[in-house]
Amino acid sequence: MTKWAVELSEYDITYAPRPSIKGQVLADFVAEGFSLDAAEAEGEVEVWRLFVDGAAGKGGAGPGIVLESPRGVIHEFSHRFQELKTNNVAEYEALLSGLRIAMGMGATRLHICSDSLLVVNQVLENYEAKEEALAKLADEVRGALAQLEEWKLEHVKREDNHHADALSKLATAMDFEGDRQVTITKEAPPSEGVMAIVEGAAEWRSPIVEYLQTDFLPSDEAQAKLIKRKAAHYSMVGGQLHKRSFSGAYLKCLSPAEAEWIIKEIHQGTCASHAGLRGLEKTILLQGYYWPTVKKDAEKAVRACHECQIHASKQHLPNAELKSITSPWPFAQWGLDLLGPFPTAPLGKKYLVVAVDYFTKWIEAEPLDTITSAKIPKFLFNNIMIRFGTPHTIITDHGTQFDCRPFENFCARNRITCRMASVAFPQADGQVESSNKLILRGLKRRLKEAKGGWTAELPHVLWAHRTNYKRATGETPFALTYGSEAVAPTEVILPSLRVQTYDPEENHKKLLHQLDMIEARRDAAMVRTIQEKLKVAKIYNEKVKPRPLEEGDMVLKRNFE
């Protein structure tokens, strides 16, 4: 060593002691153990798979967690919460517990699977967490996920998550078989005190059940009062929500899916009789079931039942309120109709055309041998236009004599509005139909056995109608037409006071006075007519059963009797 030291001294070499050999040893170890296979392994992404599920029941609540390592090693975890949780909170707690366990075992890349669609979409911010409790839990989950290098949260079907689902139920049941070692511990999660409000908008029972079990109420004061008021009529029996009926019986509260099945079974099932709305609703309650929309759902089921629609009795009640027709302009609006055939009268008369004024109730009628399209315009001109002036409106049915070119041309030439009564609602031409009944009744009572002499009796029937008091107007048609009452033959045979005291000059003055007052008389008749129509409409509308139809509704069209 001395010799070598003398030999090397001329090169001015300085020696320093080595402080530590640990780093060098590690470097040498890595260099010696390096291989191409190891390099390829470092390029592979190690992804852990996490399956979570939460369950809440009468025995408590707990999560089920299945963690699968990249090498396929499965780790199972389950524990029980100290406090009773709802399903949504249990799902969130299961997800949080699974994330803590996975990160504690060194997982940085995680594929998470949960069968709770609500939790997955709220965490991914596809759904809005409106309740503060769920929003806090969602934020806590997102904070835990932010600590991972890579993660994927996926919703799976319940059957694809059966392993975690079984563990969650095992934690609450505390009764299991088999030789699998599962450790169940009691612990308070960090999110203790955070509770879910409502599982879903469609589940109406959730807020009432939560209030009855945990005294939980939403922050909204009005909503809280509403839930408390509703909950007074409900009780928890055997872990199920029941409503106390006024008869004292307890009605089991059903979910929408259960309610749909119950309606179908009672209405169309094995022992069903396709009962109507009232019968179906009453049967549901008698069998001990309840949900808030039972009446609405029962009505919907009955209306949608094909057999009920096919074999239902015909509905004769009106489906719309009465629309009264008033005409303050005398002789402005006439109803037109045809009667017959009658027994053949002299000159071959077999038909009768009838016109009635809607205001004064004045009737004009003329016998016809045939009812061709040319006869109707001729009748209107000779009996209506020449005597009472050109009318404003003519109301008829859809008879071929009215719904034809000659009649339309006549109305157009004289500026007359022609309105056709609806085929489905002929009562729209009710004024003339009512007058037809009066004429027919009068003819039957006067003709007796002389069937062919109806044309000779027609003027007598018309005269009686024109001079009789009408309750609708409080006047006779003759008085509203000419301003004074007609002198009947009986007044001449057995003189009345006005016949006995007749004076030409005085009579002329009184006639002029009555003509001056005829407008006031007609106005009073108009007011009385409106009052009468309102009374009739009130009675009619009490029997109305609305059947509104909208675009897209299915309608049963009967084409047979």
In whole angstroms, what is the distance from residue 225 CA to residue 406 CA? 73
Tell me the per-residue pLDDT of 92-110, one tens digit each, with 9 for 90 and over.
888 888 888 888 888 888 8
In whole angstroms, what is the distance from residue 61 CA to residue 173 CA? 9
Q: Which of 342, 316, 550, 297 lies closest to 447 in space, CA to CA?
A: 342
Q: Which residue has the tokens 């094995």?
A: 270
- On the question of pLDDT at 379 being above 90, the answer is yes
Q: Between 454-467 and 430-447, two packed helices, what is the crossing angle to 10 degrees?
A: 120
- If residue 88 lies in a helix (H) or strand (E), which one and from where to where? helix 87-104
Is residue 72 included in any domain, yes or no? yes
- On the question of pLDDT at 195 being above 50, the answer is no
Residue 380's region, left for phi above 0, alpha for psi from -120 to 50, else beta, is: alpha
Residues 81 and 182 placed together within one structural domain of the fold = yes
Residues 356 and 440 placed together within one structural domain of the fold = yes
* End position of a domain, from candidates 187, 204, 222: 187
- On the question of pLDDT at 14 being above 70, the answer is no
Q: Which residue has the tokens 């008389």?
A: 521
Number of structural domains (the chain) is 3
In whole angstroms, what is the distance from residue 318 CA to residue 542 CA? 10
Mapping DSSP to helix (H, G, I), strand (E, B) and coil, where does residue 351 land?
strand
In whole angstroms, what is the distance from residue 321 CA to residue 325 CA? 13
Mapping DSSP to helix (H, G, I), strand (E, B) and coil, where does residue 109 land?
strand
Distance set, CA 456 to CA 54, 447, 459 (Å): 96, 9, 7
Residues 242 and 368 placed together within one structural domain of the fold = no
Q: Which residues contact 48 (CB under 8 A, 6 or more apart)?
A: 67, 68, 69, 70, 102, 105, 107, 109, 110, 111
Q: Which of 197, 202, 242 lies closest to 223 in space, CA to CA?
A: 197
CATH of the domain at 383: 3.30.420.10
Residues 290 and 367 placed together within one structural domain of the fold = no
Task: Count the helices and strands in the chain (H runs, E runs).
Answer: 23, 16
pLDDT top residue among 515 and 279: 279
Residue length, the chain?
A: 561
Q: What is the mean pLDDT of the chain?
A: 77
User: Any idea what DSSP says for residue 21?
Assistant: S
Q: Between 277-286 and 294-304, two packed helices, what is the crossing angle to 10 degrees?
A: 130
CB atoms closer than 10 angstroms to residue 95: 29
**Phi and psi torsions of 75, nearest 5°:** -115, 130
Tell me the per-residue pLDDT of 221-255, one tens digit each, with 9 for 90 and over.
888 888 888 888 888 888 889 888 887 788 899 98
CB atoms closer than 10 angstroms to residue 220: 11
Give the max Cα distance, the chain: 181
pLDDT top residue among 465 and 197: 465
Tell me the per-residue pLDDT of 493-512, one tens digit each, with 9 for 90 and over.
888 888 777 888 887 877 77
Range from 25-39, 128-142, 536-550 that averages highest in pLDDT: 128-142
Is residue 14 included in any domain, yes or no? no
Q: Which of 352, 322, 354 lies closest to 337 in space, CA to CA?
A: 354
Q: Which residue has the tokens 């489906």?
A: 319
The pLDDT of residue 381 is 93
The pLDDT of residue 447 is 58
Do 380 and 410 form a contact (C-beta atoms < 8 A)?
Answer: yes
Residues 119 and 182 placed together within one structural domain of the fold = yes
The pLDDT of residue 171 is 63
Residues 455 and 517 placed together within one structural domain of the fold = yes
Q: Which residues contact 87 (CB under 8 A, 6 or more apart)?
A: 54, 55, 56, 116, 196, 199
Do 151 and 124 form a contact (C-beta atoms < 8 A)?
Answer: no
* End position of a domain, from candidates 155, 187, 219: 187
The pLDDT of residue 40 is 43
**Strand partners of residue 59:** none
Is residue 296 included in any domain, yes or no? yes
**Mean pLDDT to the nearest integer, 162-166:** 80
**Phi and psi torsions of 121, nearest 5°:** -75, -30
pLDDT top residue among 476 and 507: 476
Do 250 and 233 form a contact (C-beta atoms < 8 A)?
Answer: no
Q: Between 256-268 and 294-304, two packed helices, what is the crossing angle to 10 degrees?
A: 50
Is residue 504 included in any domain, yes or no? yes
Range from 64-78, 169-183, 327-341 that averages highest in pLDDT: 64-78
Distance set, CA 549 to CA 315, 417, 553 (Å): 15, 30, 6
Is residue 9 included in any domain, yes or no? no
Residues 270 and 157 placed together within one structural domain of the fold = no
The pLDDT of residue 367 is 92
The pLDDT of residue 377 is 92
Q: Indicate the range of 171-175, 238-242, 286-290, 468-472 predicted with least confidence.
A: 171-175
CATH of the domain at 274: 1.10.340.70
Do 353 and 455 form a contact (C-beta atoms < 8 A)?
Answer: no
Report CA Rg, the chain: 47
pLDDT band at 426, cuts 50/70/90? very low
Mapping DSSP to helix (H, G, I), strand (E, B) and coil, where does residue 64 land?
strand
Residues 340 and 296 placed together within one structural domain of the fold = no
Q: Which of 213, 416, 435 lies closest to 333 in space, CA to CA?
A: 416
Residues 290 and 339 placed together within one structural domain of the fold = no
What is the domain range of residue 355?
333-537
In whole angstroms, what is the distance from residue 232 CA to residue 246 CA? 13
pLDDT band at 198, cuts 50/70/90? very low
For the chain, percent of residues with pLDDT exceeding 70: 75
Residues 54 and 97 placed together within one structural domain of the fold = yes
pLDDT top residue among 386 and 6: 386
pTM confidence score: 0.41
Is residue 33 included in any domain, yes or no? no
CB atoms closer than 10 angstroms to residue 289: 19
Amino acid symbol at 201: A
Is residue 326 included in any domain, yes or no? no
**Mean pLDDT to the nearest integer, 325-347:** 79
**Strand partners of residue 417:** 393
Is residue 471 included in any domain, yes or no? yes
pLDDT top residue among 269 and 202: 269
The pLDDT of residue 239 is 84
Residues 435 and 290 placed together within one structural domain of the fold = no
The pLDDT of residue 275 is 78
In whole angstroms, what is the distance from residue 151 CA to residue 124 CA? 12
The two three-digit tokens of residue 134, written as one number: 């769920």
In whole angstroms, what is the distance from residue 348 CA to residue 341 CA? 11
Residues 420 and 351 placed together within one structural domain of the fold = yes
